Amino acid sequence: MARIALGIEYDGTDFRGWQTQQPGVRTVQECLEAALSKVANHQVAVVCAGRTDAGVHGTGQVVHFDSDAPREMKSWIMGANTNLPRDVTVRWAVPVEDAFHARFSAVSRRYRYVIYNHARPPALYRNQVTWNYRPLDVAAMREAAAHLVGAHDFTAYRSVHCQAKSPLKTMHSLTLYEHGKVLVLEAHANAFLMHMVRNIAGVLMSVGAGKKPSCWAKEVLEGRDRRKGAATAPPFGLYLVQIEYPDRFALPKDALGPLWLPDDLQA
């Protein structure tokens, strides 16, 4: 049996999330496993680095699977893409050692939350960005974001349905990029809780709109009460853009995405 890692990109608009659910519910995992099983000529089960919710996109998802089918890496890529729907793509495939695990070998994750800050909603990118019609004070949002960097108990920023054993996570960086009417919130942490980025985005947008002061982000964090935070931001603007692993696994390094963002955010 050989272990193979894949880099996956998907538009989450028409999926009920990553993880396979009951029959008739469309998920990314279900589509990917069906496509890979046709290429392998046996049933394939994949393990992902991080499950995403309904409507959330991925440009840097990583999975692994085991197969004894004698296939070249380009055959896994081309064969899978031939059998996948247009809203899922295999971007790369590499053989990895048996010790590699898409989830447990990861040392950090990176998400991007894209906000379109304009008086009128977008038509063409309505499912790829979150629209906020109120003018946002980016400086105030950056000041608020700074309170969340470091090792903290993120109970107040997790979903009440989150099943993670511990709310303690380390936020390596929380950065806001501004390009005209587009704001990109980039969150880099060792791991994330359910709805954590969307709840952070909700708090920062409330601060940016002038509803709350910048220190409110810290007050919410220290209060450890989800009910005291902002409403969970919509899923449409959220992207899983990168999973980082130890260098010894030598996985490909791809553009962070989404690919329609300016070039200086694609490194």
pTM check: above 0.85 = yes
Domains along the chain? 2-105 (3.30.70.580), 108-239 (3.30.70.660)
Q: State how far the Cα of 19 lies from the Cα of 23, in Å rounded to an integer.
A: 12
Residue 47 parent element (H or E): strand 47-48
- Among residues 2, 70, 6, which one has the least CA distance to residue 35? 6
* Helix, strand or coil, per DSSP, at residue 212: coil
Q: Which residue has the tokens 């003018």?
A: 135
Cα separation values, 142 from 21, 29, 67, 101, 202, Å: 38, 35, 46, 35, 14
SS (H, E, C) 72-86: CHHHHHHHHHHHCCC
Which residues are annotated as catalytic?
53
Alpha-helix runs per DSSP H in 180-253: 196-208, 216-223
- Each residue's pLDDT expressed in tens, for the chain with a length of 267 residues: 899 999 999 999 999 999 988 888 999 999 999 999 999 999 999 999 999 999 999 999 999 999 999 999 999 999 999 999 999 999 999 999 999 999 999 999 999 999 999 999 999 999 999 999 999 999 999 999 999 999 999 999 999 999 899 999 999 999 999 999 999 999 999 999 999 999 999 999 999 999 999 999 999 999 999 999 999 999 999 999 999 999 999 999 988 888 778 766 665
